[in-house]
């Protein structure tokens, strides 16, 4: 059941990115409550890391997914918040890896302008929530 939920999260991530590409690409920024929406092609990792080396980035991305999956398999004996955190990180990483393979970049489109955060997407949010769970359930 949990794997179906995670599959739905990946599909939702891909859908929102496609929707953002269709609705926001080439258009001015929009507001949606506290969010600022704009189409951004992130060709690097976090904060543009390795954007001039996409193959190295894809290799590191894949290696990180394998590591996170291994940590989940180790933790899943007693399914806890920590194990779920690893699954969320894997799910988010998979969503962004699909973009890298399919498009050569990750689509970002949300931002909180008052917090001065960079643009992000649902997959990034999954990773963030997963990290919080891992910190809360040591």
Rounded to an integer, the average pLDDT of 90-119 is 90
- Establish if 57 belongs to a structural domain: yes
- Establish if 78 belongs to a structural domain: yes
- Establish if 77 belongs to a structural domain: yes
Confidence (pTM) = 0.87
Position 106 pLDDT exceeds 70: yes
Token pair listed for 38: 């704009």
Mean pLDDT of the chain: 88
- Establish if 56 belongs to a structural domain: yes
Complete DSSP assignment for 35-98: EEEEEEEE-SSGGGTTTT-HHHHHHHHHHHHHHHHHHHHHHGGG--HHHHHHHHHHHHHHHHHH
- Establish if 123 belongs to a structural domain: yes
- Establish if 49 belongs to a structural domain: yes
User: What domain count does the chain have?
Assistant: 1
For residue range 15-72, what is the model confidence (pLDDT) as tens digits? 999 999 999 999 988 888 888 999 999 987 766 677 777 778 888 888 999 999 888 8
User: What domain range is 100 assigned to?
Assistant: 2-17+40-136
- Establish if 30 belongs to a structural domain: no
Distance CA 95, CA 106 (A): 9
Known catalytic residues? 108, 124
- Establish if 130 belongs to a structural domain: yes
């Amino acid at each position: 059941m949990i794997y179906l939920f995670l599959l739905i999260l990946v599909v939702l991530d891909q859908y929102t990115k496609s929707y953002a590409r269709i609705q926001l690409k080439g258009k001015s920024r929009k507001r949606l409550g506290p969010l600022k929406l704009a189409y951004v092609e992130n060709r690097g990792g976090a904060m543009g890391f390795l954007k001039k080396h996409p193959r190295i980035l894809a290799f590191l991305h894949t290696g990180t997914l394998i590591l996170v999956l291994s940590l989940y398999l180790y933790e899943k004996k007693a399914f806890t918040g920590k194990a779920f955190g690893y699954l969320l990180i894997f799910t988010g990483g998979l969503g962004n890896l699909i973009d890298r393979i399919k498009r050569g970049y990750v689509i970002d489109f949300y931002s909180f302008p008052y917090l001065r955060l960079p643009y992000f997407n649902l997959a990034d949010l999954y990773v963030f929530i997963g990290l919080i769970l891992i910190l809360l359930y040591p």
